[in-house]
Structures are given as C-alpha cells and as structure tokens.
Amino acid sequence: MIVSGGTHTPGVPASAFAMEPGMAIRYDQPTAMLSAAVTGYTVYHAASPEPRTDWFLPAPAMICTTVDAGPITTQIAANIASPPPGPFLIGPSSAVQRTLTHGGAMVGIGLSAAGWARLTDRRASDLHNRVVPLSSMIDPALAQQLGDAITSTPNDAGLKPLLDSLLPGLLRRDHGDEAAIHALMAAIVTDGLIEVGDVSARLDIEPFTLRRLSLRYFGMPTKLLLRRARFLRSLLPMLSNPGSPDRGCIDSSYHDMSHFLRDSNAFIGTTPRRFLAHATPFLLASLRARAAVLGAATQALHGDAMRISMPAAPCPFPTPAQQPAPAGASPA
C-alpha cells in the first residue's frame, strides 16, 4: 500500500498532516450512515523497518489491520499482546497504549460505544485494556474479508470508500439500547459533568442501569468513563503547547493539583510534564490531524454530538518543526 497521508475532508490544510521524513498520517470521516458507530478512519505509516515505540492515549475500541508491516507488540496497563497477522481489536482502555512496531502501515477504524453494540454481543468490559484478534469477536470469515480488502487496497486514499462500503454489513447487530447509549455518549463528554448521580438525573436512568450500559458497551464503569474524559480535557491543552504547559486548563472539579496528578498517574502512568517529554511523533500528529478532520483531538472525547459532518477545525497541536526537543524523561 502506498501511503501519502492527508484526508478526503475538504478545507483541511496540509500542515495538519505534517510528519518527519519517512512517516505519514491520514484521517477520514466515515459516511453519514456510519457516523453514529464509527468515530473515524486513520492510517499511520513508517517507511523504516527499524523498531520504534509509540504511545497513545486511553481511548474507546478500535479495529486495526497492519499492511506491509513487521511484528507488533502492544502493552496497555499490565496486558501485553503480539497480534497475529490479520485484523485485531484494541478494547476500550483507561491506560496509555505502548506500541512497538517495525515499519509499514497501520489502518484503524475507531468504534464508538454504539459501534461496539452493533459489532458484537460480547461485553466491552471483557476487552478492557486488552488486544485480541478480531476473529475471536465476530465471524472469522467476516474478519478475514475485512483484512483482505484492506491489505489489497493500493493506496491510503482508497480506504475511506472501501470501509464506507464494507462496514455497514459488519456493524448491523440488533440490540435494544441504542437511545440510552447515545445519551450516555453525549453525557460523558459534557464539560462539568463528573458525578454519576448527576448523569443519572440528567438522563433519567438509574445508576445501576448506567453501570450496566457502561460496562457492556463502553468497557468500564460510568465513574471511570467520566474521570477519563475529565482528565483528557485537562491534558490536551497541555499537549497542544508542549513548550509551556498551561496548568490553568485543569478542570475546575479537581480539588487541587495533587488530585489531578493522581488521575494523571492512573491514566498515563506519570506526570503530564514527563509524558510531554517522551510524547512521540505519531501521538502528537494524531492529535493535530484528528482535531482538524474530526473535530476532537482524541477518540475518547468524540461525543455523540459529532455524528453530523463537521467542518475543518483549527489545528492547535504543533507541527514537527514547532515541537521542542524531548527532555528524555522515562514514561514511568
């Protein structure tokens, strides 16, 4: 597959996809009929077969397939996996993902909780912080068909029309929780909404039912979902200005800095300053490109209100030429 990077979305500047030589990134919106279930399509590409380590933020589930790539090892919390050839599923996560790759392309299909509900009857919490072959979650023949179609696509620009045509047949499971899922999707990314009781009252859904929905389709308890969203809302402005992180962006519901740092240790395993020091090119590029194409810099903050087609957004995240030199801190 030839990977040039970019997007089909009109009006997004080329600077949104700026990468170091030998690297490329792509983001695309799904077709409108999939926008409730699919948060976006992405492609990462590194020409060099030399091993490289990249870090990614906690996120909802994603289907991934490698193309012309070497072996991969992923670690989320204490869970380490080396996916075999073919599509694999990264479950909903509440910890950073460390990925060791050896060149080639990685194609990703972001799933919302509604997408999970349409994909499988398995509980999302069974895949919390885990990576498994897609064939273990759905009909192996369908997983093989998807993988074969992706790997035979000649260039990255052909992936969006391909996936727009294939995914409706994959994401079609009937279930009875669609309205409740969308209501909870929107609540989770609402600024200032952090208490389960407030979400319960807002949605008129009992806390026990919220917990069931959260575990089944979002992969973790409601409280943890709310904490993850609050922390990422506070962290992203820091990542957008790595030279001078702004602590004024921290959510007002944090009691003090130590409260915020406890969440930081829980979700990214270190302080924001140390994380910034080892933030990798694909992480920063993905935040910048995703914000420009899809309206939210990270999949975990991609709310139900974003189901409609969105105009291109400004790119607050720095291009490679603007990024400061890493300070060399370790990830933990």
- Residue 19's alpha-carbon distances to 1, 45, 56, 137, 286, in angstroms, are 18, 10, 16, 34, 10
What pLDDT sits at residue 309?
33
323 pLDDT exceeds 60? no
Confidence of residue 114 (pLDDT cuts 50, 70, 90): very high
Give residue-wise pLDDT tens across range 186-222. 998 888 888 999 999 999 999 999 999 999 999 999 9
pLDDT at res. 246:
57
pLDDT at 82: 95
How high is the pLDDT of residue 243? Answer: 57
Task: For residue 248, name the pLDDT band (cuts at 50, 70, 90).
Answer: low
Q: Which residue has the higher pLDDT, 299 or 164?
A: 164
- The yes-or-no verdict on residue 98 having pLDDT over 60 is yes
Q: How confident is the model at residue 300 (pLDDT cuts 50, 70, 90)?
A: confident
Cα–Cα distance for residue pair 245/240, rounded to 1 Å: 8
pLDDT for the residue numbered 281: 87
Placement of tokens 């030199």 in the chain: 325
Burial class (CB in 10 A: 0-12, 13-18, 19+), 179: exposed
**Amino acid code (one letter) for 38:** V
Q: Write down the pLDDT at residue 173.
A: 86
Note the pTM of the prediction, 2 decimals. 0.89
Answer with the residue of higher pLDDT: 173 or 210.
Answer: 210
- Six-digit token pair at 109? 């299909």
Q: Say if residue 38's pLDDT is above 50.
A: yes
Question: Which band of pLDDT confidence, cut at 50, 70 and 90, is reported for residue 234?
Answer: confident
Average pLDDT (158-171) is 97
Residues 104 and 67: beta-carbon distance below 8 Å: yes
Looking at the predicted structure, is the pLDDT value of residue 318 above 70? no
**Region 149-162 average pLDDT:** 98
Distance, CA of 186 to CA of 97 (rounded, Å):
24
Name which residue leads in pLDDT, 152 or 274.
152
30-39 average pLDDT score:
95
Per-chain mean pLDDT for the chain? 87
Query: Residue 242: which pLDDT band, with cuts at 50, 70 and 90?
Result: low
Looking at residues 169-177, what average pLDDT do you find?
90
> Per-residue confidence at 97, pLDDT binned at 50, 70, 90?
very high
Q: CA-to-CA distance for 77 and 53, rounded, in angstroms?
A: 15
Separation of alpha carbons 202 and 30, rounded Å: 30
